[in-house]
Amino acid sequence: MQIPTESKGEPHRGFPDVFHADLTAAINEFEQQGFNREYVCTALLSTLSTAIGTSYNIHGLEHNRIEPAVLWAVLAGPSGTAKTALIKQVLAPVQAVNKQQIRDSLRRMEEWEQEQFQEKARQKGRKADSGADFTPPTPRPEKRKTIFKDFTFEALSKGMENNPKGILLHSDEVLGFLANLNKYNGGKGGDLEIMMGLWSGEGISVSRLSRPDVETESSNINILGGIQPGRLKKLINKDSIESGLAHRFIFALPDAKATYPYRGTPDLNALDRYSEIITNLMHEPPDLGTLRLNTEARERLFEWVCFNRDMINRFNEEGNQLAGACAKYESHLLRFALIIQVSDDYCNGIKPEHIQLQAIDAAISLFDHYIENQRRIYTLCNLEDGLQHLKTWHIQLLRYLPPITEVFERRDAIEMKNTLQISVTDRSVDEFLKDDAVFEHAAQGKYRKRVSA
């Protein structure tokens, strides 16, 4: 049974060690500055996915299974846990490239306007003679940028057209994005379906009455934002689960605490190296290739997919809503493997050519971590379904007991209660284990969780 590690007297769930040493050095530095490690790593996955963009994608087991580098990541936590400050730090290299893109766009616009002014002066006499209107000799340059704070689908389509590498939708409050859906079509609907298609890399088509239509064949749109735990039900509910929207997000849900001011000396070498890696990836052109699995990676993935499909079948038989999450997270797993492989290769100065075994193993670890977070969020968002009676210590103990798929013994629960320093008696734990809404009695003295916290 895994015992939680200790940090400043508080138990926490460890994040898998999956990144290259150069990136891990930056993660350690961000953590030293007081940021929660799970927040850092989730924001890093989103940043890497944005930096890779359309440069690479991954070919799965099926002959037509191609997955893009697209992640929709949400950092869930209360106020004071420095989510916004952390995202700003991790995204700094992307933001630097974004600012340069905007400066270059403004420079091109100034040059274009000067060119039009000079051309108008040259044509002044001829225009007076002919009476013809002035026609610009070159089209108006479009603004190019990577980071969008607000959006319409028309803006996203133009953004992809002007920046085929990809786009990041970034907001301190991810629900702000969803509030925009159907805002510009009179609330008639349809935007949600378009949005979910963007997660798969589908194109955008916008019809306009007075101007030419805007259309892209494909897209690469990542999302990174935060959310307060009390607002999770607005994102994770029956409708979003049934539509599949809920399964398209990955959630960081650590036991984060308010942070203290950092008084140390930053490791500038680690931060500079991190910035170099992200910047180099950002500057790579689109469409460099589709990475296929090597033999070992393919065998490992096949073995895992079979296991996952068995789990999906079991969940469907039980009516467990995690069936949909496990199915959709197969796509997440491939995307995790792509991100890990490309970032490892770039850190090592190698051109990515194949997905290797260690990338699949890392992706499986990430799958396990985020699917467990999905279970916990389902519990948090469904407390009205017979679980509202749980006390704080119930939730805390439930969180650290083995996952739903594993059986544990009474002594394991008692040991965990003592490790977490929960001030209740062993008899109170015994009473909790009798709660049929929370635990399944697998055998004499053995239990399995029905829900997660």
The pLDDT tens digits of the residues spanning 396-452 come to 898 889 887 789 999 999 999 999 889 899 999 999 999 988 898 888 889 998 877
Residue 105: per-residue pLDDT: 87
Same domain, 246 and 112: yes
Q: Is the pLDDT of residue 229 over 60?
A: yes
Q: Where are the alpha helices (DSSP H) in 185-237?
A: 191-199, 232-235
Domain assignment present for residue 341? The answer is: no
Picking from 291, 319, 347, the residue at the C-terminal end of a domain is 291
pLDDT tens-digit series, residues 20-49: 999 999 999 999 999 999 999 999 999 999
Same domain, 396 and 286: no
* CA atoms of 165 and 171, how far apart (whole Å): 20
Same domain, 198 and 86: yes
Q: Among 179-188, 237-246, 282-291, whose mean pLDDT is lowest?
A: 179-188
User: Sign (positive/negative) of CA torsion 60, 285, 170, 77?
Assistant: positive
Confidence of residue 100 (pLDDT cuts 50, 70, 90): very high
Structure tokens at 372: 């467990």
Q: Is the pLDDT of residue 453 over 80?
A: no
**221-227/72-76 β-pairing:** parallel
Segment 211-223 mean pLDDT:
79
Domain assignment present for residue 313? The answer is: no
Domain assignment present for residue 86? The answer is: yes
Picking from 238, 260, 291, the residue at the C-terminal end of a domain is 291
Where in the sequence is the domain holding 431, given as residue range(s)? 392-449
Picking from 291, 310, 332, the residue at the C-terminal end of a domain is 291
Domain assignment present for residue 438? The answer is: yes
Beta bridge partners of 222: 168
Q: Is the pLDDT of residue 293 over 80?
A: yes
Segment 196-223 mean pLDDT:
78
Same domain, 251 and 122: yes
Percent of all residues in the chain with a pLDDT value above 90, rounded to a whole number: 50
- Residue 91, classed as helix, strand or coil, is coil
Segment 90-102 mean pLDDT:
94
Residue 5: per-residue pLDDT: 37
3-state secondary structure 150-196: CCCHHHHHHHHHHCCCCEEEEECCCHHHHHCCCCCCCCCCCHHHHHH
Segment 293-314 mean pLDDT:
95
Same domain, 100 and 238: yes
**10-12/5-7 β-pairing:** antiparallel
401 and 413 Cβ atoms separated by less than 8 Å: yes
Q: Which long-range contacts (CB under 8 A, 24 or more apart) does 232-239 make?
A: 232/76, 232/377, 232/380, 232/381, 233/381, 234/175, 234/178, 235/74, 235/174, 235/175, 235/178, 236/377, 236/378, 236/381, 237/381
Report how many domains make up the chain. 2
Same domain, 285 and 397: no
Q: Under 8 Å CB-to-CB from 183, ≥6 apart: which residues?
A: 152, 191
Same domain, 279 and 406: no
* CA atoms of 235 and 227, how far apart (whole Å): 9
Domain assignment present for residue 144? The answer is: yes
Confidence of residue 131 (pLDDT cuts 50, 70, 90): low
> What is the pLDDT of the chain when averaged over all its residues?
85
